[in-house]
Amino acid sequence: MVKNERSYRYAFLGLIAWVSICLLIAGWAELESGQVRMLSFAGLFGLIAAVGLSESLESQSRIRFTNLMASSTTDPLTGIRNRRFLDDEIERQLAQFRRQGTTVSLLMIDVDHFKLLNDNHGHLAGDKTLRNLAKLLDSTLRDMDLITRYGGEEFVAVLPCTDLHHAQLAGERIRSAIEQSRVHFENKEIKVTISVGITEATLVDTPNSFLDRADRALYVAKKSGRNRCCILRAEDTVSQISEIHQENEPVLANFS
């Protein structure tokens, strides 16, 4: 429907331009009639108006397209980027890593016991918790980092130019900030914690393998008791990550 409407508009503009040119040519002819001269001025004015209207329509189309793209890559509940935007960004960051060697890390974040929160306080409380969490994540991370809603109560943060050690620091920083925060809903104070899976990209990673490794790290974090960060390197197995977590737990707990 929009495409047909645009076609009709451009056809109308083309007709105006054609008539205007004809009138302009007629006005330039060697005729003494003042009416013909008036036609030439009308033709010139019509041609200018057609060009201006065409540029205005193009500008409106660009604005509509930009708004449409923004809405299609934005999560309506939290206002942050969604899974579709995340997939494109990971692809872009991995390509840049392969070209320039600028590493990138992922944080896979899940709200602990979110179903229980919904059951006890209702879905409106759950929605407010997710909105507050998104704001807190966004304010805790750097401007260059990207926080997205992966789905449900899961979020993914993309950390450009960040190795595994600094990704651990970032993960623990946001885990601690959320643990200390509170959500106020209907005279109630709701406390939530998160589990975080952390991994760093390799040169052979695809977006799927990169996300899958972060997801497996998150799985271990939740199985190990929740409210903690776990890392998974490309060479580690899931059984090894548990040992890594146990070895690093005292250090992770003291990150600031």
Q: Which of 213, 100, 99 has the alpha carbon at shortest distance from 167?
A: 213
What is the tens place of the pLDDT at every residue in 191-223? 999 999 999 999 999 999 999 999 999 999 999
Is the pLDDT assigned to residue 70 strictly greater than 80? no
Q: DSSP state, 74?
A: B
pTM of the entire predicted model: 0.70
Helix, strand, or coil (residue 205): coil
86 or 18, which is more confident: 86
Is the pLDDT assigned to residue 47 strictly greater than 60? no
d(C-alpha 106, C-alpha 250), whole Å = 22
Residue 200 phi, psi dihedral angles, 5° rounding: -115, 145
What is the tens place of the pLDDT at every residue in 76-85? 999 999 999 9
Which residue among 32, 58, 91, 153 is the active-site one?
A: 153
Q: Which of 233, 232, 224 has the alpha carbon at shortest distance from 253?
A: 224
d(C-alpha 89, C-alpha 130), whole Å = 22
Q: Identify the top-confidence range among 4-13, 58-67, 137-146.
A: 137-146
Q: Identify the top-confidence range among 28-32, 129-133, 251-255.
A: 129-133
Tell me if residue 153 is catalytic. yes
Other Cβ atoms less than 10 A from the Cβ of 52: the count is: 10
pLDDT at 27: 52
- Least trusted range by pLDDT, from 24-38, 119-133, 137-151: 24-38
pLDDT at 232: 95
Beta bridge pairs of residue 200: 105
